[in-house]
Amino acid sequence: MTAQLRAQAAPLWEALVHHPFVVQLFTGQLPPEKFKFYLLQDYNYLVGLIRALALVMAKSEFGLLREVLGVVQGLAITELRNYADLLGALGLKVEDAVRTPPSAVNAAYVDFMLATAALGTPHEGLLAVLPCFWSYQDIAEAHRENLARNPNPLYVRWAESYLSEGYRTVVAQLRAAIDASPLDFRAAWPIFARACHYERWFWDMAYHLLETWPGCG
C-alpha cells in the first residue's frame, strides 16, 4: 500500500524533493541563517516525533513495539546526538534549541502526529510519520551528485546520514509494517497526504524563516 500512497502523492512528493531549501542545501548555496533556523526548529520536531512514536509503542503488540523501539533508539541516540554536534558547529547548544519556541508550522505538525498516534491505531500513527522518514531518503538520493560537489562540510555532514544503509533500513521497516497492516487505502490516504503537506510547509517555513503562518505577522 505504501507504494500506492507514494504514487498518489507524486506531485506533492516532487515538490518536496525539489524544494528550493533542499536544492540549495545540497548544492551548498543555502544561506547559513536558514540552515540555523531549520536546525533549531527541527530539533524540537524530532522530540515531538519521538513522543508520537512512544504513543504508538504504548498501543502496539510486541512485534510492532520492538520494531518501533529500534526506530526510536536510532532517533534518540544517533540523530539527536548528530544534531547536537551540528548545533555545536554553529556555536549553539542543545539548550538553545530546547528554548526556541516552535514555529506555527512546527507546532501544528507535531500536534498532528501526536493526535494521530494517540487517537488512531498504531499503524495510523506510523503512517503520520512515514512521509518524513521516506521523503528525506528520496531527497538525499535525488541530490546525491550535488552533495558530492557540495563545498559546505556542515551541509554534507547533515545530508550523509540520510544516505546510510541504516537509514534505508528504518524506512523499509516502517513501510513493511504499514504494508502488513489491516489499513486500507481509503483510510490511509488522508493521513499520508496531510503528513506530506506538513513536510512541504516545514520546508517553506525554514526557507522563508517563518515563525508564524504566512500573512499572520
Residue 155 scores a pLDDT above 90: yes
Q: How far apart are CA 178 and CA 130, in angstroms?
A: 9
User: If you average pLDDT over residues 179-199, what whole number do you get?
Assistant: 96
Whole-number pLDDT of residue 214: 66
Residue 192 scores a pLDDT above 60: yes
Q: How far apart are CA 136 and CA 157, in angstroms?
A: 14
pLDDT band at 217 (very low <50, low <70, confident <90, very high): low
Phi, psi of 187, rounded to the nearest 5 degrees: -80, -35
Q: How far apart are CA 56 and CA 52, in angstroms?
A: 6
Q: How far apart are CA 153 and CA 41, in angstroms?
A: 21
Query: What does the pLDDT look like over 105-118, one tens digit per residue?
Result: 999 999 999 999 99
Residue 158 scores a pLDDT above 90: yes
Which of 26, 17, 18, 20 is closest to 152 using CA atoms? 26
Nine cell digits for residue 66: 520492538
Task: Please tell me which residue, 65 or 3, carries the higher pLDDT value.
Answer: 3
Domain ranges of the chain: 2-208
**Other C-beta atoms lying within 10 Å of the C-beta of residue 198:** 22
Percent of the chain clearing pLDDT 90 (strictly above):
80
Query: What does the pLDDT look like over 122-146, one tens digit per residue?
Result: 999 999 999 999 999 999 999 999 9
pTM for this entry: 0.94
CA separation, residue 172 to residues 160, 166, 191 (Å) = 18, 10, 19
Whole-number pLDDT of residue 84: 87
Residue 201 scores a pLDDT above 70: yes
Whole-number pLDDT of residue 144: 96
Which of 195, 188, 75, 71 is closest to 128 using CA atoms? 195
Residue 71 scores a pLDDT above 90: no
The SS3 of residue 143 is: coil
Determine the Cα angle at 139 with ends 134 and 145, to 5°.
140
Whole-number pLDDT of residue 80: 77
Min mean pLDDT across 15-29, 116-130, 156-170 is at: 156-170
Query: What does the pLDDT look like over 84-103, one tens digit per residue?
Result: 899 999 999 999 999 999 99
Chain-wide mean pLDDT for the chain? Answer: 93
Q: How far apart are CA 111 and CA 105, in angstroms?
A: 10
Whole-number pLDDT of residue 56: 94
Query: What does the pLDDT look like over 31-63, one tens digit per residue?
Result: 999 999 999 999 999 999 999 999 999 998 888
Phi-psi region of 61 (alpha: psi -120 to 50; beta: other; left: phi over 0): beta
Q: How far apart are CA 197 and CA 34, in angstroms?
A: 20
Residue 216 scores a pLDDT above 90: no
Instruction: Provide the CATH number for the domain formed by 2-208 in this structure.
Output: 1.20.910.10
Nine cell digits for residue 142: 535525488
Inter-residue contact 212 to 25 (CB < 8 Å):
no
